[in-house]
């Protein structure tokens, strides 16, 4: 029983991370329309909020959080990522969010220490 609990505490839980990302994005840009003058502040705020919530989880991980915000005007955007790591302990989670005027894509990568 103890061993199971330890595994939960030290594994990368995608659902948990996904929830943290969604909350950070909603809190920062939830009701706003795309504004060139503020987008810099928004991306910084989204990644910082995610990172502080993730480190509060207290798990033995290093984290990398990336955020892309793009104005909706018909342009095509494609993103890809690939990782060279330990499949049994490391993990990633990506969340695509949008409102009427912009798209927001946040990725979190967690690498076990």
Partner 1 sequence: MTTMEEYHSGSESSFHSEEADNIVKECIEGVVGNDDYSQSLVNKWTAGIVERCLTQLVKQGKPYKYIVTCAVMQKTGAGLHTANSCYWDTTMDGSSTVRWENRTMYCVVSVFAVAIA
Binding region for partner 1 (CB under 8 A) = 34, 36, 39-40, 42-44, 46-48, 50-51, 54-55, 62-86, 90, 92, 107, 109, 111, 113
26 or 90, CB closer to partner 1?
90
Tell me the C-alpha distance between 49 and 76, whole Å. 28
Q: How far is the CB of 38 from partner 1 (least distance, A)?
A: 10
Q: How far is the CB of 66 from partner 1 (least distance, A)?
A: 4
CA angle 82/85/87 to nearest 5° reads 100
Q: How far is the CB of 3 from partner 1 (least distance, A)?
A: 22
Tell me how far apart the 2 most distant CA atoms of the chain are, in Å.
Answer: 53
50 or 95, CB closer to partner 1?
50
Residue 73: phi and psi, rounded to 5, are -140, 25
Query: Helix, strand or coil for residue 38?
Result: coil
4 or 82, CB closer to partner 1?
82
5 or 37, CB closer to partner 1?
37
Residues whose CB falls within 8 Å of the CB of residue 47, separated by 6 or more in sequence, listed in order: 65, 66, 67, 106
Q: How far is the CB of 51 from partner 1 (least distance, A)?
A: 5
């Amino acid at each position: 029983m103890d061993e199971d609990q330890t595994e939960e505490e030290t594994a990368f839980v995608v659902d948990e991370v996904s929830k943290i990302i969604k909350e950070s994005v909603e809190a920062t840009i939830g009701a706003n329309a795309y504004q060139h003058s503020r987008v810099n502040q928004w991306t910084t705020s989204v990644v910082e909020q995610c990172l502080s919530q993730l480190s509060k989880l207290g798990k033995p991980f290093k984290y990398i959080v990336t955020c892309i915000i793009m104005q909706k005007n018909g342009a095509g955007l494609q993103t890809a990522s690939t990782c060279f790591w330990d499949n049994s302990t490391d993990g990633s989670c990506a969340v695509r969010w949008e409102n009427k005027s912009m798209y927001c894509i946040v990725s979190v990568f967690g690498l076990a220490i």
